[in-house]
Amino acid sequence: MPAALPNQFQPITEENAALLDRLTESLDHGGLWWLSGYAAGLARGRTAPAAALATAASEATTAPQLTIVYGSQTGNAKRQAEALSAQVESAGFGVRLLRADAYPLRELKNERHLVIVISTQGDGDPPDDARAFVEFVAGKRAPKLPDLRYSVLALGDSSYPQFCAIGRQLDERLAELGARRWFARGDADLDIETVASPWMATALAAAREALKPQVPLATVTPLRPHAQTAASIYSRDHPFPAEMLVNQRITGRGNRRTTLDKDVRHVELSLEGSGLKYEPGDALGVWPVNPPRLVDALLATLQLDGDAGISQGDQTLPLREWLSTKREITRLSRPFLVRHAERAGAAALDAILAANDTAALADLLANRQLIDLLRDYPAAWNADDFVAALRPLVPRLFSIASSPRLVGEEVHLTVAHVEYAVEGDIDPRWGTASNFLARSDGGATIPVFIERNERFRLPDDASRDIILIGPGTGVAPFRAFVQERAETGASGRNWLFFGNPHAHSDFLYQLEWQDALKSGALHRLDLAFSRDQAHKIYVQDRLRERGADVYEWLQSGAHLYVCGDATRMAKDVHAALLDIIASHGGKSADEAGDYLNELQAQGRYARDVY
């Protein structure tokens, strides 16, 4: 039982309680502390309101505060930043959490305690939501920061040579600007928690030591819980077993230079009974199972028993199960290369690693799989060490290709089945999740969850025009966008740029786009089939051809979206947009860059690239 209130403190009436509940419903953590200061000021002899406001402002701003800035492409950095923010807040310290593109850059010079959680994309690129933040910190406008204490949690994928490059660059640049490292940077691979968890523990300990706890001005007991929207019980860590309804190939034959044809699937899954909700622009997470033939090949190559029980942590499973559902076996990583090189004693492999040959390492990581490494550079592995050396299997994200307003409790995907031949091997090489989906028949269950993408949303103003650039399977979210705009009766125009190698075999959703043009759901469609003529034509070429109209749409308030390959296409499209803005807007290269950055800051230039 709570202690009795002193006689001079009388309970408030039910009417006042209702008013207070309405007042505090929309306040965040900082707002509630401010309000407590205001109330305390009034309690001090019924201080006049102006004095109470001053007291509240003083007590809310004098306590040190931790600022957490995150840049996230797929949601991992956001999750880690939110978790740290919750821990710091629960410990009673002031904290504010901001996405990098919402952070007021002018405030950097006044920061005292800053944590940055940021991922690296592709070949050393920042997340889209952090591009302007990274450019500012790296640029000439960045202020000197002698009073700042900071730390960085860098997220990356060691399958790429530029592992955690953006986090490392920010860490080094802040030091150059005179800031002091509060505690050491963490570089997290796909098994994020192994680095993030101890790093967060260090961050919380540092916050306890450096930040002055906010003194509670009053003990506040919630009068009643706020109504919460019912949420699904299914999540990333507890996926929903979605039934496969449709698994249809939508590409033709004879469209590849290798012995295997390109295989793009239209997949439909049932979410009935899951409670999962999504919006156009979101992604579907899929927990895959590795290709069984590849698991067999690994066991045979290493001469290991798939039925042998292997213990890792508190879990014991047969080796075959570890390799099928718990470990990455289609992607190489630098840490595994280092460990394997120690066992193999291969001079060629040692030379690549020792010389830090970025080009050779990039080629090895991009074009060879685990089975290739084990066969090219034989070495003895026992089962326990092998499982421990491999990275955990992580879910794959697919852009959702449907609007729930049209398809109800279903979710549609457009999946390119990664499958290619290797000389001298009867077995192809496969992608993990794409092969899992491709080999799943109707009625099979697929473990899934929704990954929200707030940065990739249709305009709130349905009268705004939209320009959609999505070659290949990058067209997936734009199928959802067009469906949504048609279902909601949006008055804005929709313009799609689509490209692929061949019109006769690779024109994904051709009939749907043609019907959309006839119905008025799609207003313009520009196509680029790169190999249907002597010279190659790509979507960026079509953009330049239509440059005057593209610029006119942008000047009139259009929103611009890009989806697809980050390594080449997205960069080429970005360069084409800069050219269009400079040429048709009469701007310098720097001004064109500022123009695009401003579009991004306004939420009018969004990319979903991978």
The tens digit of pLDDT for each residue in 129-153 reads: 999 899 999 999 999 999 999 999 9
Most confident stretch, 52-66, 225-239, 354-368, 495-509: 495-509
Alpha carbons 277 and 404: distance in angstroms, whole number: 8
Alpha carbons 18 and 23: distance in angstroms, whole number: 9
Under 8 Å CB-to-CB from 113, ≥6 apart: which residues? 64, 65, 66, 67, 148, 149, 150, 182, 207, 210, 211
| Residue 136 and residue 174 in contact, taking contact as beta carbons nearer than 8 Å | no
pLDDT band at 235 (very low <50, low <70, confident <90, very high): very high
Residue 122's pLDDT is what? 77
CA distances from 421 to 369, 415, 425, 427, 472 (A): 12, 19, 8, 7, 21
| Residue 240 and residue 276 in contact, taking contact as beta carbons nearer than 8 Å | yes
Q: Which domains, and CATH codes, for the chain?
A: 14-58 (no CATH), 63-210 (3.40.50.360), 240-288+395-451 (2.40.30.10), 292-389 (1.20.990.10), 466-609 (3.40.50.80)
Q: Which helix (H) or strand (E) holds 543?
A: helix 539-545
pLDDT band at 16 (very low <50, low <70, confident <90, very high): low
- pLDDT tens string 249-280: 999 865 444 445 789 999 999 999 999 999 99
Report pTM.
0.81
Average pLDDT over residues 453-477: 97
Strands 410-417 and 263-270, bridge-based pairing? antiparallel
pLDDT band at 13 (very low <50, low <70, confident <90, very high): low
The mean-pLDDT minimum among 183-192, 254-263, 300-309, 391-400 falls in 254-263
pLDDT band at 363 (very low <50, low <70, confident <90, very high): confident
The mean-pLDDT minimum among 23-27, 431-435, 501-505 falls in 23-27
Q: Which helix (H) or strand (E) holds 343?
A: helix 334-344
- pLDDT tens string 194-210: 999 999 999 999 999 88
- pLDDT tens string 315-342: 999 999 999 999 999 999 989 999 999 9
Residue 161's pLDDT is what? 85
How high is the mean pLDDT of the chain? 88
